[in-house]
């Protein structure tokens, strides 16, 4: 057939004379073959000018539109030990249904009457606060009484000081009068003595005047003593005022010190009451955490911590739950090369795994089994797989998505511009990216969530 042998068969063996060769190598068959080849060539040439929709294909999986509808795990905020299960895997639970019951593993919470005893401690501390309040009021009254008593005694001492001043003035006048009397007595004695020497007065008159002079001198000394005593009374009254002031300052200071001590104890008791109330509330809330409840309506996927008596730490995952009411979405990943071609609000076709489909990627109008979606979010940072995450929601203008489970695989087809098939083949052969595509509007409309 290839004529590469030195002994060609066609020269030694003749094909003529055989019925099959006569039917094949008949001249009329050449004519039909040439027509077929010519028609195929014309059809292929025209086929190259048919429209082809460029697209960006990506792989993803089914998820939910909002984070609170995605599969989650239930944790316990406190450490504990599993005591009883109320559900099994696959059960449907409503919000607030009890999933399991746990018990304490920390020694400080073993007391079954812990909340009751803490409440009693609060009452006792509140009584102590009331007692300190009464003591503070009594000390305040005592301080006011001491101030009033100080004022009265100070006024009494001031009156004594005033009396002493008046007495000094009186004794000073008497002392001056005694001085005047002694001068008069001295002159009378001198005149009488002179008259006696002249023989005009008797000796008895002289002796009488001398006696009167001595009495006057004695009165002068007595009045001077009284004046000094009165002045001493002034000093004593002033000292008494200072003593009263110092005495009551000491008493009032001591009462105030006792009052401040009582206030300090009162504030300390109030702080302890606040701390105990905080602990009381924490204990009450902690007891409600012994029953692990469903945060929302959903299905129990898997018991992560199994068995009875198994212990766990706070924050450990106990059970997985899948919400029942979800808004489906597709999470797909686009390469950085194709990311500029994806815009928020643009429509995308989706092919779900396990769902019958006939796909002509370049002719979406004749495809069957694909569903419509709209781009609602484009991640701004590259993912760990080297691609950008794109979230696609159902297209309200298209037929509803099938009833499939979250986590199922999906292929997405982002439709771009229409180009001839020859251009698409040339682009694919050269490894060029699709045409830079922009939506018809200046900016894609954001989809309301």
pLDDT tier at 443 (50, 70, 90 boundaries)?
very low
* Cα(150)–Cα(242) distance, integer angstroms: 11
Fold designation for 114-288 = Helix Hairpins (1.10.287)
* Cα(358)–Cα(369) distance, integer angstroms: 6
Q: Where in the chain is the domain with CATH 2.40.30.170?
A: 52-70+326-449
Residue 389 confidence (pLDDT): 92
Distances (CA, A) of 134 to 256, 269, 330: 15, 14, 71
Residue 238 confidence (pLDDT): 87
Could you tell me if 76 and 292 are in contact, meaning their C-beta atoms sit under 8 angstroms apart?
Answer: yes
Return mean pLDDT, the chain.
82
* pLDDT tens figures, 270-298: 999 999 999 999 999 988 899 999 999 99
Assessment of whether the complete model's pTM goes beyond 0.75: no
Q: Where in the chain is the domain with CATH 2.40.50.100?
A: 72-104+290-322
* pLDDT tens figures, 113-139: 888 899 999 999 999 999 999 999 999
Nearest to 301 by CA among 324, 269, 327: 324
Q: Where in the chain is the domain with CATH 1.10.287.620?
A: 114-288
Nearest to 171 by CA among 213, 219, 228: 228
Q: Annotate 106-168 with DSSP letters as a single string.
A: SGGG--TTHHHHHHHHHHHHHHHHHHHHHHHHHHHHHHHHHHHHHHHHHHHHHHHHHHHHHHH
* Cα(63)–Cα(392) distance, integer angstroms: 9
- Rg, C-alpha atoms of the chain: 60
* pLDDT tens figures, 23-56: 666 556 667 777 788 888 888 888 777 776 767 7
Q: Over 90: is that where the pLDDT of 101 sits?
A: yes
| CATH 3.30.360.10 holds for 72-104+290-322 | no
What average pLDDT does this structure show over 151-176? 85
Q: Which CATH superfamily is domain 52-70+326-449 in?
A: Efflux pump adaptor protein, beta barrel domain (2.40.30.170)
Percent of residues in the chain assigned helix, strand, coil, to nearest 5: 50, 20, 30
């Amino acid at each position: 057939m290839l004529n590469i042998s030195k002994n060609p068969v066609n020269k030694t063996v003749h094909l003529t004379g055989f019925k099959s060769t006569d039917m094949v190598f008949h001249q009329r068959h050449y004519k039909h073959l040439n027509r077929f080849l010519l028609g195929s060539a014309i059809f292929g040439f025209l086929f190259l000018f048919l429209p082809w929709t460029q697209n960006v294909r990506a792989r993803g999986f089914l998820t939910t539109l909002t984070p609170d509808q995605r599969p989650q795990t239930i944790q316990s905020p406190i450490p504990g030990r599993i005591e009883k299960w109320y559900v099994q895997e696959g059960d449907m639970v409503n919000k607030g249904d009890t999933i399991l019951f746990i018990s304490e593993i920390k020694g400080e919470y073993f007391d079954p009457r812990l909340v009751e005893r803490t409440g009693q401690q609060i009452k006792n501390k509140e009584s102590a606060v009331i007692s300190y309040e009464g003591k503070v009021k009594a000390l305040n009254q005592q301080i006011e009484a001491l101030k009033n008593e100080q004022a009265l005694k100070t006024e009494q001492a001031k009156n004594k000081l005033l009396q002493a001043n008046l007495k000094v003035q009186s004794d000073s006048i008497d002392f001056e009068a005694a001085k005047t009397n002694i001068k008069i007595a001295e002159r009378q004695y001198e005149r009488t003595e002179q008259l006696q020497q002249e023989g005009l007065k008797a000796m008895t008159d002289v002796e009488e005047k001398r006696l009167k002079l001595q009495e006057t001198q004695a009165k002068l000394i007595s009045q001077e003593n009284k004046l000094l005593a009165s002045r001493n009374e002034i000093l004593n009254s002033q000292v008494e005022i200072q003593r009263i002031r110092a005495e009551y300052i000491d008493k009032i200071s001591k009462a105030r010190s006792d009052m401040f001590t009582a206030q300090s104890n009162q504030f300390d008791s109030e702080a302890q009451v606040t701390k105990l109330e905080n602990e009381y509330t924490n204990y009450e809330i902690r007891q409600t955490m012994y029953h692990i409840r469903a945060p929302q309506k959903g299905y129990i996927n898997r018991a992560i911590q199994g068995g009875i008596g198994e212990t766990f730490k706070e924050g450990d995952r106990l059970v997985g739950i899948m919400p029942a009411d979800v808004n489906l979405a597709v999470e797909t990943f686009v390469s950085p090369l194709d990311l500029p071609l994806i815009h928020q609000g643009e429509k995308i076709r989706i092919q779900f795994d396990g769902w019958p489909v006939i796909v002509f990627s370049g002719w979406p109008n004749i495809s069957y089994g694909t569903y419509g979606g709209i781009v609602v979010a484009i991640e701004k940072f590259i993912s760990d797989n080297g691609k950008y995450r794109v979230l696609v929601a159902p297209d309200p203008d298209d037929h509803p998505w099938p009833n499939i489970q979250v986590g199922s695989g999906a292929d997405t087809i982002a439709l771009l511009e229409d180009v001839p098939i020859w251009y698409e083949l040339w682009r694919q052969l050269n490894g060029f990216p699709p045409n830079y595509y922009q939506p018809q509007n200046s900016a894609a409309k954001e989809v309301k969530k």
